[in-house]
Structure 1
Amino acid sequence: MNPEARQEALSRHGLVETEDGFELTLAGFQRASKRAAGLRKEGDPEATQMLSLSPDDPLRWEYCRCIAIEAFSSEVYHSGI
């Protein structure tokens, strides 16, 4: 994956890379929340618990950030790097 494709993937997953790691954008939070709703429908108890939190709860944001990082990492892995 070249740098431009990597940046596009970060943007697609709603992540911004910083010196401290990845930060989640609002669009990333919304996308990850939809993925969490899908996990909840599949019976995932952690997703159920996290989605019961207020959208402004830092723990919910962290959970969504982890979902976005996992999706981004999977995309990078499958790109053949």
Structure 2
Amino acid sequence: MIPEERQEALEGHGLTEAQDGFVLSLWGFQAAMRTARALRGQGNEEAIRMMALDASDPLRWEYARAIQIEAFSIEIHRSRI
């Protein structure tokens, strides 16, 4: 994957890179919450707990960021195969 494709993939998941890690955009948070709702519907205990938190709770945002980082990582991995 060339750098431009990597950057496009980051943006596609609502992520930007900062000096200390990935930063989640509002769009990325919303996309992650759609994923979390689907996981909650499948009975995923972690998703159930996180979705019960207030949207402004930093832990909920961190969970959303982790979902998007995982999706980004999967996309990067698939592009190298």
Residue type of the alignment partner of 1:28: G
Unaligned runs of 5+ in 2: none
* TM-score, length-scaled by structure 2: 0.97
Residue 55 of structure 1 corresponds to which residue in structure 2?
Answer: 55
**Alpha-carbon shift at residue 29 of structure 1 (Å):** 0.2
- State the SS of the aligned residue for 1:54: coil
Residue type of the alignment partner of 2:24: L
Unaligned runs of 5+ in 1: none
Residue 43 of structure 2 corresponds to which residue in structure 1?
Answer: 43
**Alpha-carbon shift at residue 35 of structure 1 (Å):** 0.3
Query: For the residues of structure 1 that align with 2:24 and 2:30, how far apart are their CA atoms?
Result: 10
**Alpha-carbon shift at residue 22 of structure 1 (Å):** 0.3
Query: For the residues of structure 1 that align with 2:2 and 2:37, how far apart are their CA atoms?
Result: 32
* TM-score, length-scaled by structure 1: 0.97
Moved beyond 2 Å, runs of 4+:
none
Alignment size in residue pairs: 81
Query: For the residues of structure 2 that align with 1:67 and 1:10, how far apart are their CA atoms?
Result: 13
Coordinate RMSD, CA, aligned? 0.8
